[in-house]
Amino acid sequence: MLDQLFEGEGAYGWSSEKILDLESRLMAPGEDEGVMLGIDDAALLLQGMAFTEVMSQEFPWIDTVRWVTDFVTEELRKHWSEEEWRSIN
């Protein structure tokens, strides 16, 4: 399943390079520093959260996963217009 996420026609726009770049930026800032996220970064995070939600369907904590996914989605999406979101897909 994981190989379908990163390679071939079934890829979801994820590449290990993009993921590692985002991870390094999220892990690198100091205590008082922020991280600038672009719409591509936000889309990658939301895709990962959606994947986690789908893969967590059978777990007893799925309601918590859904709540967190909904909350983060709302917080990230409000920084860009609907047209901008459509343009990246």
* Neighbouring residues of 49: CB distance < 8 A, sequence distance ≥ 6: 68, 69, 72, 73
Question: Is residue 12 very low, low, confident or very high in pLDDT (cuts 50, 70, 90)?
Answer: low
In angstroms, the CA 73 to CA 12 distance is: 18
Give the tokens for residue 82: 């609907």
pLDDT at 13 over 90: no
- Domain count for the chain, please give it: 1
| 32-89 confidence digits (pLDDT tens) | 788 888 999 999 989 889 999 999 999 999 999 999 999 999 999 999 999 998 888 6
Tell me which residue range forms the domain holding 38: 2-88
Are the C-beta atoms of residues 31 and 1 closer than 8 Å to each other?
no
Nearest to 48 by CA among 84, 80, 76: 76
